[in-house]
Structure 1
Amino acid sequence: MKVLKFGGTSLGSPDNIKKVKAIVTEKSKNSRVVVVASAFSGVTNQLQECSHLAEKGDDQYKTELDKLINRHLEAVQSLLGAKSQSPLMAKVRLVLNEIEDILKGVFLIHELSIKTLDRILGSGEVLSALIINEFFLQEGMKSNLLDPQDFIITDSEFGKANVDMPLTEKKISSYFQHQEAEVLVCPGFVSKDLQGNNTTLGRGGSDYTAALIAAALDAPELEIWTDVNGMMTANPKYVKQAFAIPQINYEEAMELTHFGAKVLYPPSVHPVYKKGIPIYIKNTFEPEAEGTKIHKFPEADSQSIKGISCIENIALFNLSGSSMVGIPYFSHRLFEALAQAKVSVILITQASSEHSICVAIDLEDVKRAKLAIEKAFSFEFKQEMLDPLFIETDLAIVALVSSQLKNQIGLSGKMFSVLGQNGINIKAIAQGSSEKNISAVIDKKQIKKALNTLHESFFLSDLKRVNLFIVGTGNVGKTLIDQLNQQSDYLKDHSQIDLRISGIANSRKMLFDLNGIPFENAVNTLLEKGQKMNLEQFLEDMKDLNLRNSIFIDNTAHEVVANTYSDVLASSISVVTPNKIACTGKYDDYKNLKNLALRYRSHFRFETNVGAGLPVINTLDDLIKSGDEILGIQAVLSGSLNFIFNNYTGEGDSFAEVVKQAQEEGYTEPDPRIDLSGVDVKRKILILLRESGFEMELDDIDTIPFIPEKCMQAENVEQFFESIAQEEAHFKKLVEEANAEGKKLKYVATFENGKANTGLEKIASDRPLYNLEGKDNIVLFNTKRYPEQPLVIKGAGAGAAVTASGIFGDIIRIANAL
């Protein structure tokens, strides 16, 4: 005899019930079938809500009850023909009238006992089975309706009764011997105690009903039909990439169900486990799908972790104090107090020093648990032998489950490492001696991020998703997006990195998309669908999304954006930027950003602050980390200034015309005075010095101006160009003096003997800086390892393409480190 249990979603509508009928018809071709029915989806919750409204004296319960009544009557009308409707309507009305009468009594006396609640809640399954059985009969199936209260016997623990196993098994065996129908329809969840009172088996108890029947009848298998394709690797509500586990053993299944896998009621495994009866988790809406097989000896599987589960709405109680150390029966007193208060402990952890003990419980039990503990240890609290009871709420438990944990080295380390890298703080840890799971208590708001991070690491390690939040879609921003588009497939195939734009913004609009904004039309999509840009709101939305492996990319040159980096890094979101402002403010602020990145396991990368796409900062970082020491630096760090002085000869175009050309080709800022003042170069050398370990401020660097002061004081850019045009003789003289000495003009940043300066220099032909062409940059590092012949880094130092490639490189370096 086959035992099939159908969940509430499988019976959620008349159309769904027809799908159930098709499955049962197929299964009953070669064997008799027991169909265990849950209540229609949502009905048990509706009954509970009606009960509590009635208890409060709120006559709104009548409205809710009417909805429930109408739903069942409409199901009868939809499923059955006119001839069959009247008899069934009478039976359904009988059950509904009883519920109505009980609720009316609750409403009048404002009292709802657990015993009464059991009687009300069990009605959902009774109605469901009644309707299904009549539908089967109408469809020509040889079906019979069973009453589980005739054979499932429990104690009187109303709400979640304990089954009398020997008596129940005996009664099931005897009861089913007299059943001859091909299909036997049985309500789940409901039972009776020895005094004949209605009891229930706990929420999800229909699975338990099916398991009890299957075990007592020695059924070849138990099938649980639901709305998913099996037991999932993680909760699909949070993890879109979760998939069905093909097979799993009983112990792993019990661990997953204990830690929140809703597809199976935890006690259901035990009865069939003892008999070695396999359980199949199947999808009513995709009956051809393989599903999950739960059995005793699953075949060897290369996947050591079977699933990642979670329990929401957890509270953590921490009892600590010196009086606990070495005191016998202390733990016994704690757990006895909780047991007497009927508080279930989900997780336990205790310090080896015995100074503290931590327990996790359901959030609903907090008040009862607090009163029970304070009463049990009232003397110790009064005498200050114990610290005040510390309670944390709004927590959750995430757990890795596998029966192979004890045979796998490094799984715990990997779990905590990936959580830490994504800024997920762990409040408590537990791993049982049987090593079936590793559990960690975290903030509830971190559930989605934690589950996705762990799922990606343990199940999808060949493809790492990185979520990008891009601010700034000018020349550099657009070029970066083009490069991302061009290389995204390559990175997936060769580096297993899946880059996605999850948020994008410019000065006018901002847009978020959890599924990723397509690279090929990201800017157009932003303009078409984006909402009004608000930087504060953008950052809040980015943090609220709480996505794993998040990188904030600032392509602007705005101080207001740079000032947000500390908040972003402290949210465990990495920062990549060509914006030099953050690294060239006060030294303490710069150092704080570096420290925040270390503390919150985020990354702060700004390679493009110096030399655009040139590997200047990365090379410097490698030198310092390997123990080298910077003795001196000579560098041409402005691609725009180098372009200007390579193209201005004093004979062709005027200085103003060459500067205008540099502006039009994108080598200078929109206001060229920023470049010509040398402040940009000053910032770059400051960054190199700070990265070298020197605590310097911007004012510590001397700057020798070469632009007349009156030009720099022009009211706007247009007047500035007019002013430098009038000073052509001054610029021509600078070039002529250099030419006369056989030298070239270069704007140079220098660090030597602990002092730094920037300014225009005449460079002789025997120096490496002399042959620097176009917009190229060059950096010479004299170090202890390179005392005479400096380490030279040379190449294009300006332009959208090379700057974007430098940002891209920083993104990849972070992705590889995640």
Structure 2
Amino acid sequence: MTKTQIYKFGGASLKDARAVQNLADILRNRLRNNFVIVVSAMGKTTNHLENILSRKLENLDYSTNSSILKSFHLDICRELFPDGHVIFPKIENYFILLHHELDKPISKDNYDEYYDRIIGYGELLSSRIVMEYLCSQNLLILWQDARELISTDSDFRFAKIDWEKTRRNCQSQLKPKVEQFPVLTQGFIGADSAGRPTTLGREGSDFTAAILAASLDAGSVTIWKDVPGVLNADPKIFSDTTLFAELDYQQAAQMTFYGASVIHPKTIKPLANAGIPLFVKSFLNPDEPGTKIHSLAKVDSVPTIILKKDQILVSLKVTDFTFIEEKHIHQVYEELQKLKLRVNMLQTSAITISIVIDSQLFKLEQLLSQLNKDFEIRYNDGLELLTVLYPEMDYIPRLLGGYEVLLEQSTRNAVQIVRRAK
């Protein structure tokens, strides 16, 4: 029997009506049974929902923001469907449900759980619109709620997968469907054992595709992007980029660890463990080969540049005239773990621990309040973290023109620099 293929389409490939039509064109000659399509929210919908949540948390009116988001989806539908199509009341109903959730109280204490109840509406909306449009184009396809498949713990916003239960769900619920018809589902969302919505971390739709692939013993996963494949730098920021025709799992995992945005960091491991190849291709040029990530004997040592923005450098200095010990690092990491903050860079000196973390709503103030009794703390925000893998030393100065360097460290195969514009 033909092994299942997984296709994942992100927000950029669903940003407007023309993009949805392009998605249908890509699928038209490729779609068959044993096919699962995973979609993200449309365009910048997740960002808009986060803005609504921020306004609600600050007791500000969010009705205009919600109306804009609703109009965005309805405008796309008006371009894709005739008047009176069933999609219009479905969209209206999703926004009624969304507002019902938004009417409930929110606080810093329940923010993460509240976030997961709200944010998944982006994927539910996009998956309904795409499914209905494909069906209108005579591409028969089934809709599947990912929350019935992806079983997680209750670590809201960063939920961990219950792999055994998820595999059982996929084998019992998804596999019989996919053997008969292509199935479309949502990325990024799951549910805990009590049925409460959870999410897998921002940009988690790639991870969803890998989870479903591993659970179905799939033949391949293809992620459709607005770039030709995996490049050695973001072409929106850096010129003269190089396309990797092939990458080893380990090298791809290293790139995602340091923050390469083309693939979600958790995507590689389940695919590598199962030996499932991952293709990264362009939805703008779908017939181009893109990048294949699989087992390779040789690592491609082309210098690779990864830039993370909105970074915070936190320096923690011991105040009791002792030196930094393992217990201090353990204390800091324990608080970071409680707040679900990932360290993007760590450096220690005799009396100081320096960490670089992503900027997240009100998380920094919570971290400082927990650690300021034991450390003297300074921080800088609005920074960038530049990582260069397999660097050529004469290449680094070209990346620092017009920038001030706040922190730098090197290993055998990587250079990391915290910088800010002068």
SS at match of 1:74: helix
Quick one: distance in 1 between partners of 2:164 and 2:265? 20
- Matching of residue 393 in structure 1 with residue 381 in structure 2: yes
Q: 1:48 to 1:358 in 2, by over 3 A?
A: closer
Given residue 49 of structure 1, which amino acid in structure 2 is its aligned partner? N
- The match for 1:307 is 304
Give CA-to-partner distance per residue, 1:276-321, whole Å, 9 cap, x none: 21111111111122222222216564xx235210111222223345
Q: What does 1:463-482 align with in structure 2 at a 5 Å threshold?
A: none
- The match for 1:65 is 66
Unmatched 5+ residue regions in structure 2? Answer: none
1:127 maps to which of 100, 112, 125: 125
Q: What does 1:168-317 align with in structure 2 at a 5 Å threshold?
A: 168-179=166-177, 180-297=179-296, 301=300, 304-317=301-314
Given residue 130 of structure 1, which amino acid in structure 2 is its aligned partner? R
SS at match of 2:102: helix
The alpha-carbon deviation at position 222 of structure 1 amounts to 0.6
2:357 maps to which of 349, 353, 361: 361
Q: What does 1:449-488 align with in structure 2 at a 5 Å threshold?
A: none
The alpha-carbon deviation at position 69 of structure 1 amounts to 1.6
Give CA-to-partner distance per residue, 1:692-734, whole Å, 9 cap, x none: xxxxxxxxxxxxxxxxxxxxxxxxxxxxxxxxxxxxxxxxxxx
- The match for 1:488 is none
Q: 1:326 to 1:125 in 2, by over 3 A?
A: closer
Quick one: distance in 1 between partners of 2:379 and 2:157? 27
Provide the identity percentage.
26
Given residue 251 of structure 2, which amino acid in structure 1 is its aligned partner? E
Task: Work out whether residues 94 and 121 of structure 2, in 8 Å CA contact, stay in contact via their aligned partners in 1.
Answer: yes
Quick one: distance in 2 between partners of 1:130 and 1:294? 30
SS at match of 1:389: strand
Task: Work out whether residues 144 and 181 of structure 1, in 8 Å CA contact, stay in contact via their aligned partners in 2.
Answer: no
Quick one: distance in 1 between partners of 2:418 and 2:30? 43
The alpha-carbon deviation at position 110 of structure 1 amounts to 11
- The match for 1:80 is 81
1:338 maps to which of 310, 313, 336: 336
- The match for 1:12 is 15
The alpha-carbon deviation at position 164 of structure 1 amounts to 1.1
Q: 1:392 to 1:92 in 2, by over 3 A?
A: closer
Given residue 90 of structure 1, which amino acid in structure 2 is its aligned partner? P
Quick one: distance in 1 between partners of 2:352 and 2:359? 21
Q: What does 1:145-184 align with in structure 2 at a 5 Å threshold?
A: 145-179=143-177, 180-184=179-183
Task: Work out whether residues 13 and 20 of structure 2, in 8 Å CA contact, stay in contact via their aligned partners in 1.
Answer: yes
Quick one: distance in 2 between partners of 1:77 and 1:147? 24
Q: 1:205 to 1:294 in 2, by over 3 A?
A: same
2:414 maps to which of 427, 437, 451: 437
Given residue 394 of structure 1, which amino acid in structure 2 is its aligned partner? G
Q: 1:38 to 1:80 in 2, by over 3 A?
A: same
Q: 1:300 to 1:43 in 2, by over 3 A?
A: closer
Quick one: distance in 2 between partners of 1:100 and 1:363? 28
Given residue 356 of structure 1, which amino acid in structure 2 is its aligned partner? T
Quick one: distance in 2 between partners of 1:183 and 1:229? 26
The alpha-carbon deviation at position 326 of structure 1 amounts to 7.3
The alpha-carbon deviation at position 154 of structure 1 amounts to 0.7
Task: Work out whether residues 248 and 306 of structure 1, in 8 Å CA contact, stay in contact via their aligned partners in 2.
Answer: no
The alpha-carbon deviation at position 43 of structure 1 amounts to 1.0
Quick one: distance in 2 between partners of 1:169 and 1:331? 37
Task: Work out whether residues 247 and 299 of structure 2, in 8 Å CA contact, stay in contact via their aligned partners in 1.
Answer: no
Number of residue pairs aligned between Structure 1 and Structure 2: 415
Given residue 392 of structure 1, which amino acid in structure 2 is its aligned partner? N
- Matching of residue 24 in structure 1 with residue 30 in structure 2: no
Quick one: distance in 2 between partners of 1:23 and 1:427? 46
- The match for 2:101 is 102
Give CA-to-partner distance per residue, 1:732-786, whole Å, 9 cap, x none: xxxxxxxxxxxxxxxxxxxxxxxxxxxxxxxxxxxxxxxxxxxxxxxxxxxxxxx
- Matching of residue 428 in structure 1 with residue 407 in structure 2: yes
Task: Work out whether residues 252 and 401 of structure 1, in 8 Å CA contact, stay in contact via their aligned partners in 2.
Answer: no
Quick one: distance in 2 between partners of 1:229 and 1:263? 11
- The match for 1:318 is 315
The alpha-carbon deviation at position 106 of structure 1 amounts to 4.8
Task: Work out whether residues 6 and 38 of structure 1, in 8 Å CA contact, stay in contact via their aligned partners in 2.
Answer: yes
Q: Runs of at least 4 residues of structure 1 off by over 6 A?
A: 109-112
SS at match of 2:229: coil
| Alignment root-mean-square deviation, CA | 2.7
Quick one: distance in 1 between partners of 2:396 and 2:238? 19
- The match for 2:47 is 45
Quick one: distance in 1 between partners of 2:370 and 2:22? 49
The TM-score normalised by the length of structure 1 is: 0.48
Given residue 69 of structure 1, which amino acid in structure 2 is its aligned partner? K
Given residue 328 of structure 2, which amino acid in structure 1 is its aligned partner? F
Task: Work out whether residues 342 and 358 of structure 2, in 8 Å CA contact, stay in contact via their aligned partners in 1.
Answer: yes
- The match for 1:659 is none
SS at match of 2:356: strand
The alpha-carbon deviation at position 341 of structure 1 amounts to 4.1
Given residue 273 of structure 2, which amino acid in structure 1 is its aligned partner? K
Given residue 309 of structure 1, which amino acid in structure 2 is its aligned partner? I
SS at match of 2:134: helix
Q: 1:279 to 1:324 in 2, by over 3 A?
A: farther
SS at match of 1:170: helix
Task: Work out whether residues 303 and 392 of structure 2, in 8 Å CA contact, stay in contact via their aligned partners in 1.
Answer: no
- The match for 2:113 is 115
Task: Work out whether residues 247 and 298 of structure 1, in 8 Å CA contact, stay in contact via their aligned partners in 2.
Answer: no
Task: Work out which of the two has the higher radius of gyration on C-alpha atoms and give 1 or 2.
Answer: 1
SS at match of 2:289: coil
Give CA-to-partner distance per residue, 1:619-660, whole Å, 9 cap, x none: xxxxxxxxxxxxxxxxxxxxxxxxxxxxxxxxxxxxxxxxxx
Quick one: distance in 2 between partners of 1:17 and 1:417? 42
Quick one: distance in 1 between partners of 2:58 and 2:93? 26
Task: Work out whether residues 106 and 112 of structure 1, in 8 Å CA contact, stay in contact via their aligned partners in 2.
Answer: no
- The match for 1:652 is none
Task: Work out whether residues 170 and 212 of structure 2, in 8 Å CA contact, stay in contact via their aligned partners in 1.
Answer: yes
Q: What does 1:285-684 align with in structure 2 at a 5 Å threshold?
A: 285-297=284-296, 301=300, 304-320=301-317, 323-325=321-323, 327=325, 329-351=327-349, 354-364=350-360, 365-375=363-373, 377=374, 388-402=376-390, 411=391, 413-414=393-394, 422=401, 425-431=404-410, 435=412, 437-443=414-420, 445=421
Task: Work out whether residues 55 and 111 of structure 1, in 8 Å CA contact, stay in contact via their aligned partners in 2.
Answer: no
SS at match of 1:77: helix
Task: Work out whether residues 57 and 110 of structure 1, in 8 Å CA contact, stay in contact via their aligned partners in 2.
Answer: no
SS at match of 1:438: strand
SS at match of 1:262: coil
Quick one: distance in 2 between partners of 1:11 and 1:117? 22
Give CA-to-partner distance per residue, 1:459-492, whole Å, 9 cap, x none: xxxxxxxxxxxxxxxxxxxxxxxxxxxxxxxxxx
